[in-house]
């Protein structure tokens, strides 16, 4: 029998689950624009994934020349 979670697909939950991967943040964080990483980190934090949000920002900021944008 399917659980309620399996019955109701939550695209935001799936997005957050995929993008809370620290290895993905490590490989892609520096490729995003400041605005892109800000909204991604904001969504992760809003869904309770604070460590993942900080990881994305840290990986991005290591290569970002505009630290005042974050």
Site residue total, Zn ion (CB under 5 A) = 4
Structure tokens at 9: 């697909």
What is the spatial distance between Cα 68 and Cα 43, in angstroms, rounded to a whole number?
20
Site for Zn ion in 5-34 (CB under 5 A): 34
30-59 mask for Zn ion (x: CB under 5 A)? ----x-------------------------
Find all residues with CB under 8 Å of 3, minimum gap 6, and list them. none
Which C-beta is closer to Zn ion: that of 13 or that of 69?
Answer: 69
Which C-beta is closer to Zn ion: that of 6 or that of 66?
Answer: 66
Which of 45, 66, 65, 47 has the alpha carbon at shortest distance from 55?
Answer: 45
Interface residues with Zn ion (CB under 5 A) are 34, 64, 66, 69
């Amino acid at each position: 029998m399917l659980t309620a979670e399996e019955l109701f697909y939550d695209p935001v939950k799936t997005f957050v689950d995929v993008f809370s991967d620290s290895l993905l943040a490590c490989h892609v964080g520096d490729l995003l624009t400041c605005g892109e990483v800000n909204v991604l980190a904001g969504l992760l934090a809003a869904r309770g994934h604070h460590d993942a949000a900080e990881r994305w920002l840290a990986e991005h900021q290591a290569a970002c020349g505009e630290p005042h944008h974050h």
